[in-house]
């Protein structure tokens, strides 16, 4: 999985997936339009997928098998970071966007976006984090939670979370199930 920052989102996502990253995690999401645009960047430009990604000669192509390339673009897991106040404010609409798989919450970045950097354990920050988790589960979308180790998973497992990232050094690579 490649982590894609806000700037040059489409270019980086399509190039990363073209270089055999199978999935993309999009950071700095603020609105449902950000999610829709990111989904369109990756999905193939077919009538069914509605994407903007045209078939190009890249490493992911198996010879000239465009059918396999289209399947790979449709199968790519697209994940989105809910880490800004505006994303939490637009959460229900964001979670309603089709074509995404799971969402991840980041209390540290959220605390910055509300003007309280480094205060990720404040009740209002924890409340926003839990709001994302509960709403995602209610809407049938898989949330991913960052934890420091297996011992931190229990309260989230009780909430229904099944996808985790452990430790800051590998949080951008894959969910731990």
List the beta strands (DSSP E) in the chain.
2-4, 24-26, 78-82, 102-105, 142-147, 163-166
Domain assignment present for residue 148? The answer is yes
Average pLDDT, integer, range 70-75: 82
Domain assignment present for residue 176? The answer is no
Domain that holds residue 165: 2-170
Domain assignment present for residue 14? The answer is yes
Domain assignment present for residue 63? The answer is yes
Domain assignment present for residue 175? The answer is no
124-159 pLDDT per residue, tens: 999 999 999 999 999 999 898 888 899 999 999 999
91-101 pLDDT per residue, tens: 999 999 986 66
- Secondary structure, 3-state, 19-60: CCCCCEEECCCCCHHHHHHHHHHHCECCCCCCCCECCCCCCC
Domain assignment present for residue 177? The answer is no
Residue bearing the bigger pLDDT, 51 or 92: 92
Number of domains in the chain: 1
CATH number of the domain enclosing 143: 3.20.20.60
């Amino acid at each position: 999985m490649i982590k894609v920052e806000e700037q040059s989102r489409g270019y980086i996502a399509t190039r990363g997936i073209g270089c055999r990253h199978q999935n993309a995690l999009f950071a700095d999401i603020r609105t449902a339009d950000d999610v829709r645009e990111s989904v369109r960047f990756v999905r193939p430009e077919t009538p069914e997928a509605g994407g903007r990604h045209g078939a190009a000669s890249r490493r992911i192509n198996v010879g000239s098998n465009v059918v396999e390339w289209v399947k790979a673009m449709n199968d790519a897991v697209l994940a989105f970071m809910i880490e800004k106040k505006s994303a939490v404010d637009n959460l229900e609409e964001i979670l309603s966007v089709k074509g995404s798989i799971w969402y991840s919450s980041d209390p540290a970045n959220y605390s910055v976006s509300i003007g309280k950097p480094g205060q990720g354990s404040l009740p209002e920050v924890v409340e926003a984090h839990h709001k994302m988790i509960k709403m995602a589960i209610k809407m049938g979308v898989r949330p991913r939670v960052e934890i420091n180790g297996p011992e931190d998973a229990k309260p989230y497992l009780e909430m229904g979370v099944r996808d985790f990232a452990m430790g800051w050094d590998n949080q951008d690579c894959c969910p731990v199930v």
